Amino acid sequence: MSSTITAVEPLSLRQSFTDALIACGKERDDFVLLEADATGATFTGQFTERFSDRHVACGIAEQNMIGMAAGMATTGVTPVATTMAVFVSLRALEQFRTSVCYGNRNVKLVVSHLGIDIGEDGPTAAAIEDLGVLGAIPNLTVLSPSDDVEMHAMVRWMLEHDGPVYLRTGRSPVPRVLPDDYRYVAGHWPTVREGSDVTLVGIGITVHLCVRASELLSREGISAQVIAASCFKPTDEVGFAERATTTKGVVTLEDHNRRGGLGSRVAEILGWNAPMPLESIGLEDRFAESGATGALFEKYGITPENVAERARRVLARQSSTHTSSTS
Amino acid sequence: MNATTTAWPTLNRDGVPLPDSLPREVLTRLLARFSAKLRARALVMIKDGGSGHPGGSFSAMDIMVALYFATMRARPTEPDWPERDRFILSKGHACPALYVILAELGYYDSSELDGFRAIGRMLQGHPSTSTPGVECVSGSLGQGFSAALGMAVGLRLAGKNEPRVFCVTGDGELQEGQCWETIMAAGHRRQSNFTVFVDANGLQGDTRIEDTLNLEPLPDKWRAFGWAVREIDGHDLNAILDAIEWAKGVDDAPQVVIARTIKGKGVSYMEDVPKWHGTAPPNDEEMAIALAELGEQERANS
């Protein structure tokens, strides 16, 4: 990218979200924050402190929170409902699917606690299925920004967009990967780094790990482009496939079950548009465990080194006469 | 059927319900007449559509008629009028009652009633927001109730103090845990612009509520959650109108009217019989009996 990427201290996506919401709160008063007793997880308490009259505490009652949001959206107030992903993407899923998405209501659902990024709290609280579940719901836009720049752009877009949106944050601090003048284009998966041999696709907190993998590969003379699956749904599939096919293979990296998540999504996009070798890294259809996030990422292979290894493998597959299936 | 429409002089399209000046006994007769007529129309719709839920439609009909024709401020030709009162049928399977009322009021042409549950037509098997006058999706029990509370909260946040939100739930519906989240939240918020009617017909899909998962004592439960509670005969239009007036006067709590009703009300062989919950329509012979009985009720209130 030719534009400048300002170096900043790594920042968690949940902090970026709250920063963005506060920034928007100063500019407009048409949205209200709904929360379900999880502000320690979502970090949204900072918004409430500044805008106490634009806040509805729903208690530990997520089904009613989502239902209320569907109704509230008809009164000229945009509800921004927040909590941990499992409690809405699974516990209140039917309310979100039917009251919000079938009704096509202008509700924004913003979630934290995605994947093994949550660390010590363990599998009970770690959403490793939300992309698969929500990716199957009509009318819904699913957003997963890569850094604070994209978070700010997406929060602004989300509040302007008339319709249901699911926005994912994250816990671990992430470095900035997109340029200062980045603008979110609906459905587009931005190219974060240019490259010509192999395509690395990340989502949310794994995008910067793909960038690091591209740096490892460049030392070996392999040129990797990095693409962020920022809008999981709906997606400009052709736009992605066209860029992927300028390289010889694709590797996906997600902190999510590999089944139903980014790996599956990229497999279907490529299968429908431009079949080519693909390797997918994520949880291997299993629940993980409690532990320090960094150690969990190492144990479950969500690392730049593993991406680089799979990139070499996908390039080897491409040059062989056989097309083996993705392991 | 058109003859009675013209007998509704004040059922206008400007958001003004029947005038208070109408003597109560005249008003209740008019409403009773309409309930009978609209039950018949709903049954024809279900018969034509090949399936639907007559039992719960008929138990809720008197409450809904009183709300739509004698209470709520709304504009059928401007369904999204921001100052309107809202009505949410949380027990969405009773939508035949809602659909015939909305058609009668002119939210859409009554010819739509011929396409209930039919492919390519407007009136879905359960309420959908693609139908003018339908405020939210409902039919997955418990969900409409939460959305209704969200409307009441949203109206206050938006600075609208006039509009009220009315919601009808079933009693069986209250077996859904989501309902108790909503009851808790509304009580906690003292959401006084929110009035709920429980269409307490005592039956649920399979059989009797008391034999399945008992809900009584319902009034005590709601009271314990901070609601103002009244219990009435849900087919006594005078009592329904009184309850609405009472609810409007409560300014520090949400209000619930536990309306004791009869599932299948108005058709002798359907009354309090679980099998008429849904979804098979009456056969031709049963249909003739039902229309005769409802026609008699309509004439009796002329």
Q: Which amino acid is at B65?
A: V
Residue B17 placed within a domain: no
- Within 8 A of A61 by CB-CB distance, chain B residues are 181, 184-185
CA-wise closest residue to B35 among B62, B57, B6, B8:
B62
Closest A-chain CA to B127: A103
Phi, psi of A221 (to 5 degrees): 80, 15
* Angle between helix A237-244 and A262-273 (nearest 10): 80
Q: Cβ separation of A67 and B155 shorter than 8 Å? A: no
Considering CB atoms only, which of B142, B147, B155 is closest to A70? B147
pLDDT of residue A308: 98
Closest B-chain CA to A32: B157
Q: How many domains does chain B have?
A: 1
Q: How far apart are CA A66 and CA A295, in angstroms?
A: 35
Considering CB atoms only, which of B129, B143, B157 is closest to A95? B143
Buried b (16+ CB within 10 A) or exposed e, A194-209: ebebbbbbbbbbbbbb
Residue B184 placed within a domain: yes
Q: Cβ separation of B150 and A67 shorter than 8 Å? A: yes
Sign of CA dihedral B134, B136, B138, B142: negative
Q: How far apart are CA A228 and CA A206, in angstroms?
A: 9
Residue B168 placed within a domain: yes
Q: How far apart are CA A62 and CA A84, in angstroms?
A: 10
Averaged pLDDT of chain B: 92
Asked whether the ipTM of the predicted complex exceeds the cut of 0.90, the reply is: yes
- Within 8 A of A58 by CB-CB distance, chain B residues are 185
Q: How far apart are CA B103 and CA B93, in angstroms?
A: 17
- Within 8 A of B88 by CB-CB distance, chain A residues are 71
Q: What angle do CA B140, B145, B151 make, to 5 degrees?
A: 125
Interface of A with B in 149-208 (CB under 8 A): none
Task: Tokens for A133, please give them.
Answer: 């579940």
Sign of CA dihedral A104, B187, A44, B177: negative
CB B294 within 8 A of CB B90: no
pLDDT along chain A (327 residues), means of 10: 82 98 97 94 93 95 98 97 96 98 98 96 97 98 98 98 98 96 96 98 98 98 98 97 98 97 98 97 97 98 98 87 46
- Within 8 A of B149 by CB-CB distance, chain A residues are 64, 67-68, 71
CA dist list (Å): A278 to A73, A215, B33: 41, 20, 69
- Within 8 A of A102 by CB-CB distance, chain B residues are 128-129, 137
Closest B-chain CA to A93: B143
Question: A252 in helix, strand or coil?
Answer: strand
The answer, yes or no, to whether residue B13 has pLDDT greater than 70, is no
Share of chain B above pLDDT 90, in %: 86
Closest A-chain CA to B163: A75
Across B83-112, average pLDDT:
96
Which of B86, B155, B157 to mutate: most A Cβ within 10 Å?
B157
CATH number at residue B107: 3.40.50.970
Task: Tokens for B141, please give them.
Answer: 């029990």
Sign of CA dihedral A150, A153, A157, A160: positive
Q: Does A76 touch chain B (CB under 8 A)?
A: yes
The tokens 């429409």 sit on which residue? B5
- Domains of chain A in start order, with CATH, are 11-174 (3.40.50.970), 191-322 (3.40.50.920)
Residue B92 placed within a domain: yes
Residue B14 placed within a domain: no
Q: Does A68 touch chain B (CB under 8 A)?
A: yes
Q: Find the domain containing B35 and state its range.
A: 24-300
DSSP state of A324: P
pLDDT band (50, 70, 90) for residue B40: very high
pLDDT of residue B19: 59
Q: Cβ separation of B178 and A63 shorter than 8 Å? A: yes
CB A283 within 8 A of CB A258: yes
To the nearest whole Å, the CA of A28 is away from the closest chain B CA by 14
Task: Tokens for A51, please give them.
Answer: 């805008």
pLDDT of residue B75: 87
Q: How far apart are CA B294 and CA B39, in angstroms?
A: 7
Q: Any idea which of A86-90, B72-76, B155-159, B251-255 has the lowest mean pLDDT?
A: B72-76
Residue B6 placed within a domain: no
The answer, yes or no, to whether residue B302 has pLDDT greater than 90, is no
Q: How far apart are CA B245 and CA B220, in angstroms?
A: 22
Q: Does A106 touch chain B (CB under 8 A)?
A: no
* Plot region of A295 (φ>0 → left; ψ -120 to 50 → alpha; else → beta): alpha
Q: Which residues pair with A11 in a beta bridge?
A: A174
Closest A-chain CA to B88: A71
CB B140 within 8 A of CB B87: no
Task: Find the chain B residues whose C-beta atoms sit closer than 8 A to any C-beta of A.
Answer: 82, 88, 128-129, 135-137, 140, 142-155, 157-158, 160, 177-178, 181-182, 184-185, 188
Question: B114 in helix, strand or coil?
Answer: helix
Across B180-200, average pLDDT:
98
Q: How far apart are CA A39 and CA A21, in angstroms?
A: 14
pTM attached to this predicted model = 0.94
Q: How far apart are CA B182 and CA B144, in angstroms?
A: 10
pLDDT of residue A7: 87
Buried b (16+ CB within 10 A) or exposed e, B102-131: bbbbbbbebebbeebbeeeebbbbbbbbeb
- HSE on the CB side for B105, CA within 13 Å? 30
